[in-house]
Amino acid sequence: MSDEFWDRWFRRRFSPFRSIFEDIEDMFREMERFMSREFKEFSRETPENLIREKTLPDGTKIREWGPFIYGYTFTIGPDGKPKVREFGNVKPEMRFGYPKISIREEREPLVDVMETDKEVKVIAELPGVEKKDIKLYGTENTLTISVDTAERKYYKKVELPSAVDAKSAKASYKNGVLEVRLKKKREPEGEPILL
C-alpha cells in the first residue's frame, strides 16, 4: 500500500470526529483496490498456454489457470556453505523497486548437481515427458536441458562446478528422472622447467 494511504489513515485516525470502524472500512476498501490492480496485472502477464476454458456439466464455462509452480531446495555444499536452488515457472523479482511475480510458460525443473574427482553428475526431475522430447546441449561449463511439447515445457541452463568434456556425456532417463554424467576435463600436465 502507498505511503500516501498510511499518511491519510494516521491523520484521520487521530481525528476526534471519526470512529475506528470508519478507518477500518477505508483500509479494507484500499486493500480491495490494491488486490484488484494486482490480479489484473497478473492475468495480463500470464502466458496464454497457462489459461484454459472449461465447460462444467451444467454448461457453465469457467477459466482454469496454471499450473503455477514455485519451489526451492536447500542443501549444504562440500565447502559447508548453504545453496538454495529455485525451480518452477513462477519467479519473484524486483521491477522499479517493487516486488513482482514473473510467470513463464516453461517450468524450471528441480536439478541437483554432484561432483566427484572424475565427473560431474546432473540429475533433473522432468515428470510427464517422453525420453524422445528431451533436448540436451552441453558446453565446457554448462548443460542446457529443454523440453517443448504441447503438455509440458521445461527449460534450465545448469552452471557446472568444473570444466567438463561435453562429448563424454552419458544420459539416461527413467521414471521422470534424467541423469547426465559428464567427465571432467583433465588438467594439462605441465613440463618441468630447468634452471
Paired residues of 111 in beta bridges: 124
Residues 21 and 97 in one domain: no
**Do 38 and 90 belong to one domain?**
no
- Is the pLDDT at 99 greater than 80? The verdict is no
Provide the pLDDT for residue 16: 57
In a shared domain, residues 12 and 72: no
Structural domain boundaries, residue 169: 65-183
Judgement on whether residues 34 and 84 belong to the same structural domain of the protein: no
pLDDT value of position 178: 95
Average pLDDT, the chain: 83
Q: pLDDT class for 174, splitting at 50, 70, 90?
A: very high
Considering the domain architecture, whether residues 38 and 69 belong to the same structural domain is answered as no
Alpha-carbon distance 122 to 24, whole Å? 53
Looking at the structure, tell me whether residues 19 and 90 fall in a common domain. no
Would 125 be classed as within a structural domain? yes
Q: Is the pTM of this model over 0.75?
A: no
CA distances from 172 to 11, 166, 169, 177 (A): 66, 15, 10, 8
Confidence check: pLDDT of 95 > 60? yes
**DSSP calls for 113-140:** EEE-SSEEEEEEE-TT--GGGEEEEE-S
Residue at 138 is within a domain: yes
- 73 and 40 co-located in one domain: no
Q: What is the pLDDT of residue 1?
A: 54
- Whole-number percent of the chain with pLDDT over 70: 88
88 and 40 within one domain: no
Q: How many domains does the chain have?
A: 2
In a domain, 25, yes or no: yes
Asked if 160 and 69 sit in the same domain, the reply is: yes
Give the pLDDT score at 35. 85
Would you say residue 52 lies in a domain?
Answer: no
192 within a domain of the structure (yes/no): no
Mean pLDDT of 99-105: 76
Locate 111 and state its grid cell: 536439478
Q: Which of 131, 143, 137 is nearest to 178 (CA)?
A: 131
Q: Specify if 54 maps to a domain.
A: no
**Span 1-51, pLDDT tens digits:** 556 665 665 665 555 556 677 778 888 999 999 888 877 877 777 777 777
Asked if residue 38 and residue 84 are part of one domain, the reply reads no
Residue 51: inside a domain, yes or no?
A: no
Whether residue 56 lies inside any domain: the answer is no
- The predicted structure's pLDDT at residue 20: 72
Asked whether the beta carbons of 152 and 104 are under 8 A apart, the reply is no
Show the cell assigned to 176. 521422470
pLDDT exceeds 80 at position 78: no
112, 27: one domain:
no
Rounded distance, CA 135 to CA 194, Å? Answer: 50
